[in-house]
Amino acid sequence: MKKKFSLGKVATHAFLIVWLLLCVFPLYWLLCFSLKDTQEIFNGNLIGLPTQWLFSNYANAWGAGGNISVFLMNSVIDTAVTLCITSLMGFMSAYGLLRMRWKGQKVVMTYIMMGMMIPMHAALYPLTETLLPLNKTYWALIIPYAAFNIPITILILSGFITNIPYEMEEAACIDGSGIFRTAFTIILPMMVPAIATAAIFVFLQVWNELLLATIFASGKVRTLTVGIQQMSGQYQTDYGSMGAALVIATLPTLVLYMCMSGQVQRSLIAGAVKG
């Protein structure tokens, strides 16, 4: 049986191919940028392949030249602890606000959601007064990161938890299960796709944050964004090593999304079809 080709299908495939190239091009450019020296970059070879593949840029960025390894570990610690706090507190808050009945429930939910209206950087002055004594510890960034990302986590989880039928909790209650056991052994496994979606949003906010990291992180706890910024010198900058550092900073985001994209897709279609 011969397949029928139409002008609409050809145009659609052509558009998708062009769109794919536009999405992949920044990654290609960044990778090529990281393998060139400063002279080649400023001599006009911005898009083409490197004339000399300088993998030494990665060694320079990772080691004493850029010290990215230390900054990367700091960012991993800040992000991992923030994700654990926001996921746990977001789940417990969403469960308490939407699955339990108590006085003032809607008021508390509205109050928490109002936190999304306040940008993180708008609270810079009170945060400065509170967190500067902690500027040489990881908590100077973990506390504000977690506090400002809990509302969006609750919002994402609340849209998913409302699709879970109450009959499952009623059956667990009849079997003698308590609130905490029901929440963590029955409801929590079903909400893994939603938690993965919230984790990606929180990860992007925390991993790429610069202003708070510049102000509150100092000494040995500086994050990756601050470390890359400091690679730019006043009189001379090794742009090849900086590009290598940017590649290193981009890889965790790509790996995280590739590992959790399936969970995100399942969370988006959850509740669309009911059997």
Give the position of tokens 């102000």. Answer: 215
Cβ-based neighbour number of residue 79 at 10 Å:
25
Give 43-81 pLDDT, tens digit per residue: 877 788 888 888 888 888 887 666 888 899 999 999 999
> 186: which DSSP letter?
I
Residue 65 sits at the vertex; the CA angle it makes with 59 and 70, to the nearest 5 degrees, is 80
The Cα–Cα gap between 163 and 145 comes to 29
Q: Are 208 and 120 in contact (CB under 8 A)?
A: no
For 61, other C-beta atoms within 10 Å of its C-beta total: 27
Using CA atoms, how far apart are residues 167 and 147, in angstroms rounded to an integer? 33
pLDDT of residue 267: 59
Cβ neighbours for 67, distance < 8 A, ≥ 6 positions apart: 227
**pLDDT, tens only, 182-240:** 888 888 888 888 888 889 889 988 998 888 888 888 888 889 988 888 887 656 777 88
Judge whether 98 and 194 are in contact, CB under 8 Å: no
Confidence of residue 3 (pLDDT cuts 50, 70, 90): low
Among 148, 150, 254, 156, which Cα is nearest to 197's?
156
CB 58 within 8 Å of CB 34: yes
Q: What is the pLDDT of residue 124?
A: 83
Which three-class secondary structure state does DSSP give residue 69? helix
Q: Domains of the chain by range and CATH?
A: 66-269 (1.10.3720.10)
Q: Residue 199 and residue 77: Cα distance in Å, rounded?
A: 15
User: Confidence band (pLDDT; 50, 70, 90) for 271?
Assistant: very low
The per-residue pLDDT of the chain, averaged, comes to 84
> What percentage of the chain carries pLDDT values higher than 90?
19
Helices then strands, counting H and E runs in the chain, come out as 14, 0
CA nearest to 143, candidates 159, 161, 155, 128:
128
* Pair of tokens at residue 68: 């990215």
Give the 3-state secondary structure percentages of the chain, helix then strand then coil, rounded to 5: 75, 0, 25
Instruction: Provide the Cα torsion 198, 201, 202, 208; round to 10°.
Output: 170
